[in-house]
Amino acid sequence: MISKLSHSSIYVLDQQSAKDFYVNKLGFTVEMEIPIGENAFWLTVSPKDQKEIEITLMPISAGGMFDSETAIKLSDLVKKGVFGFGVFECVDINATYTELVDKGVVFTKKPTKEFYGTEALFKDDSGNWFSLVQRG
């Protein structure tokens, strides 16, 4: 029986830039940072109040299951903003939105009332997009 989700992966164009974004802008904490090759790390981050889930910031590079062509295609798709990796929640979306905008996070949708709560959409530094929701 599956009991929980422990890791989720996000493809990023540059791991150090992504680390700066998730830690210094979104306020996440680095859980693991293990060098695994030339300029590549096993790099995971977690929201401060949810340590049991680690988000793996995956590098895109040729080798293993990606040949060069696939790595280039995947990078292009990430840059285009094709991937939406999930929904983040917050206690108060207006406070969180104000802070993140001040920190330079790019929003594609301002806080808007939906049937499930109030939602905004933002992008990370690679182009991946996320929903930010305040429930209720």
- Tokens linked to 40: 């590549």
Q: How far is the CB of 81 from other proteins (least distance, A)?
A: 23
Does 135 bind other proteins (CB under 8 A)? Our answer is no
Determine the Cα–Cα distance for residues 123 and 136; give it in Å rounded to an integer. 23
Place of tokens 């340590």: 51
Q: Which range of residues in 14-22, 80-88, 93-101, 113-121 is near other proteins by CB under 8 A?
A: 93-101
From candidates 48, 52, 80, 115, binder to other proteins by CB under 8 A: 48
Start-to-end C-alpha separation, the chain: 31
Does 72 bind other proteins (CB under 8 A)? Our answer is no
Q: Which range of residues in 10-18, 74-82, 94-102, 112-120 is near other proteins by CB under 8 A?
A: 94-102
